[in-house]
Amino acid sequence: MTDRPIVVAGAGAIGCFVGGQLAASSRRVALLVRPRVKAEIERFGLRLTGFDGSEKKLDAGQFALSEDPAILHNARIVLVTVKSADTADVADQIAQHAPEDAVIVSLQNGIGNVGVLRDRLGNRRVLAGMVPFNVIAMGEGRFHRSTSGDIQVGEDAGNTAAALSVAGLAVRASRDITGVQWGKLIINLNNALSALSDLPLAAQLASRDWRRLFADQMAEGLAVLKAAGIAPVSATPIPMNWTPALLRLPDVIFNAILGRTMRIDPEARSSMWQDLKQGRKTEIDYLQGAVIALAEQNHVDVPLMRRIVALIREAEAAGNGPPRLTPRQIRG
């Protein structure tokens, strides 16, 4: 069993970084990638860098690499890292090619992907996961981790989390992975603000006006979860319900607290910023969209969140990249 590979299905920025870290620790790894990524890695190999100054270099021969889903044929663990809109398609590939006993782990944004995977994969074992950090595709095979945090995976009898935990990539088992996912989603509401601002995350969080905007959006999201009876789990020692008040604090106090709970590379950007920059459709429907759907079910008003969704869709349609809006322009 242990000599069968861990296959990363849909290896983009997160998938290449996670798969690369596993391969660097002598795990048998295969990456299912798009043709462009395959060509890049074959030419340059993988270079994994981090906000902490860490760096690992891997030759393409240290892992398997393919654009053919048949690479799933002998997987013992499949890490799903595709965008949420592609979940159904990758589930069908897994159903066709992966062994029945392979463990499927969703390492995706949002909270609905595990349901899609389970619906299409029948009785296969599917686990939810949460990746707290950002990874930026820098080009020429370099993937840069720009924020801190440990991956969490739903607890299971096979201790899948331990099988995935290696030096440079800590993976912890969680007994409340649904709460963890909702907690990550509430934090990920800032992805859209980062994309609309065109600012690095560190610079954005250094501005009290931007933090207040984030706090107001987060407060809407937390009100929705409360109405729905969902308790989000914070990824930091700070309780989730305290976070909006913390974000509104003066800069000096906020920065002193943030420095103890999270490390952020000065050039860290959100995945939604990367999508707008590259002219791709964002995951706004799976982040703000998921909260808005829950708000409608529970009759909670979320006007700021709706405004942000509209602005992201305008930016997608325009195709000019991040629009560089101010907090005042976003509030309208």
Could you give the percent of the chain with pLDDT greater than 90? 91
- Predicted structure pTM score: 0.93
Q: Is the pLDDT of residue 236 over 50?
A: yes
236 or 178: which carries more pLDDT confidence?
A: 178
Q: Closest Cα to residue 32, out of 116, 92, 90, 99?
A: 90
H-only helix segments in the chain? 13-24, 35-44, 87-97, 113-121, 160-164, 177-188, 190-197, 201-205, 208-228, 243-247, 251-261, 271-277, 288-297, 303-318, 327-331
Q: Cα(122)–Cα(96) distance, rounded to whole angstroms?
A: 12
- As a whole number, the mean pLDDT across the chain is 95
pLDDT at 2: 62
Q: Cα(91)–Cα(94) distance, rounded to whole angstroms?
A: 5
CA atoms within 13 A of residue 120's CA, in its CB half-sphere: 18
Q: Cα(96)–Cα(54) distance, rounded to whole angstroms?
A: 38
* Structural domains of the chain, ranges and CATH numbers in brackets: 6-175 (3.40.50.720), 181-331 (1.10.1040.10)
β-sheet with 151-154: strand ranges across: 64-66, 29-32, 6-9, 77-80, 103-106, 126-130, 151-154, 171-174
What are 73-97's pLDDT values in tens digits? Answer: 999 999 999 999 999 999 999 999 9
Q: Are 19 and 31 in contact (CB under 8 A)?
A: yes
Mean pLDDT of all residues in 132-140: 94
Q: What b-and-e string marks burial along 32-54, b requiring 16 or more CB atoms within 10 Å of the CB?
A: bbeeebbebbeeebbbbbbbeee
Q: Closest Cα to residue 106, out of 124, 131, 85?
A: 131
What does the CA dihedral 218, 287, 20, 129 come to, rounded to 10 degrees?
Answer: 80
235 or 59: which carries more pLDDT confidence?
A: 59
263 — pLDDT class (breaks 50, 70, 90)? confident
Could you give the percent of the chain with pLDDT greater than 70? 99
Beta strand 135-139 pairing with 171-174:
unpaired
Q: Closest Cα to residue 163, out of 63, 282, 29?
A: 29
Mean pLDDT of all residues in 245-264: 85
151 — pLDDT class (breaks 50, 70, 90)? very high
Q: Closest Cα to residue 276, out of 316, 318, 325, 327?
A: 316
β-sheet with 55-58: strand ranges across: 55-58, 46-50, 142-145, 135-139
Mean pLDDT of all residues in 158-162: 97
Q: Is the pLDDT of residue 1 over 60?
A: no
The strand pairing partners of 127, in sequence order, are 105
Mean pLDDT of all residues in 250-262: 81
Q: Cα(115)–Cα(185) distance, rounded to whole angstroms?
A: 16
Q: Are 87 and 108 in contact (CB under 8 A)?
A: yes
Q: Cα(13)–Cα(139) distance, rounded to whole angstroms?
A: 10
Q: Cα(270)–Cα(106) distance, rounded to whole angstroms?
A: 19
258 or 143: which carries more pLDDT confidence?
A: 143
Q: What b-and-e string marks burial along 187-207, b requiring 16 or more CB atoms within 10 Å of the CB?
A: bbbbbbbbbbbbbbbbbbbbe
pLDDT at 237: 80
pLDDT at 255: 85
Q: Is the pLDDT of residue 317 over 90?
A: yes
235 — pLDDT class (breaks 50, 70, 90)? confident
The strand pairing partners of 255, in sequence order, are none
Q: Is the pLDDT of residue 259 over 70?
A: no
